Structure 1
């Protein structure tokens, strides 16, 4: 039997007040490598800007600071506009800013991320299916469940982004 583990508060992060927990990459490298491979396979053939919007939106819903920091930085690097990033939490109100394809992807991302709200309604799925081929839709769903897994890893292990000034 193993002893219960608790976070060592003497090493708490100055910005969050939380101590980091286990390092998944070091303690379960095979799991970490599998996640990296899944992430890479899921993105294959999808528009990188759309992917970053979806990753950022899911990370907003899941309150994952580490992933929010990473994906907003990555989105800017590949050319996603500041306006799209700033208004992402209100994408549904911004009809002219996000394309119909982006809107369908974001709606699907929210529905898959918030499964307990109403599962994934047929209308949400069918709208996404109108904008994506079967292969793209399969990969989009994989991107969504993969970022949700990454968010859960980062939040449960208290991974935080570096403070940039």
Structure 2
């Protein structure tokens, strides 16, 4: 017999606070974050950051970027479907190219960035936008690694 215990399990304790111990590094990361998204549609940037965070299992970043995406006008059903974006018709060809590139860069050890994935992204983004897209993907992956390693948790609701 199973019981339906709805008591939340506490989040793991944070291991380390990188911003407090290395404030210059944190400021530099924040500056990189700000400059990475210059010239890129903010809604697309949040989709990419949410998707990469889902792939990396960073609860803090998933919560933050999904929340920011919805505040920016994104539909919640699209956020929920990001792990299965190929199985829906809810994303444009441009978004699909960005999501595929996000997966390839995030999961780099699983085949690097195939030419076909890069070329599809290059078809949908002008060169400067593509550079920003790559910068956003690289930056969120760095943030995810900080969040996962230090065990950052989203605020309780």
**Interval containing the TM-score (normalised by the shorter chain):** over 0.9
C-alpha distance in structure 2 between counterparts of 1:36 and 1:67, whole Å: 14
With normalisation by structure 1, the TM-score equals 0.88
The CA deviation at 1:163 is 1.3
Q: 144, 152, 157: which is aligned to 2:150?
A: 157
**Gap regions ≥5 residues in structure 1:** 1-13
Q: 43, 49, 53: which is aligned to 2:47?
A: 53
Residue of structure 1 equivalent to 2:107: 114
The CA deviation at 1:82 is 1.2
With normalisation by structure 2, the TM-score equals 0.93
CA-based RMSD: 0.8
How far does the alpha carbon of each residue in 1:93-142 deviate from its partner, in whole angstroms, 9 at most, with x for none?
11x21010000000000000000110000000000000001111111000
Q: 137, 142, 147: which is aligned to 2:130?
A: 137
Residue of structure 2 equivalent to 1:26: 20
Residue of structure 2 equivalent to 1:75: 69
Aligned length: 149
> Is 1:89 matched with 2:55?
no
The CA deviation at 1:32 is 0.3
**Gap regions ≥5 residues in structure 2:** 1-8
C-alpha distance in structure 2 between counterparts of 1:15 and 1:132, whole Å: 42
Q: 37, 53, 70: which is aligned to 2:31?
A: 37
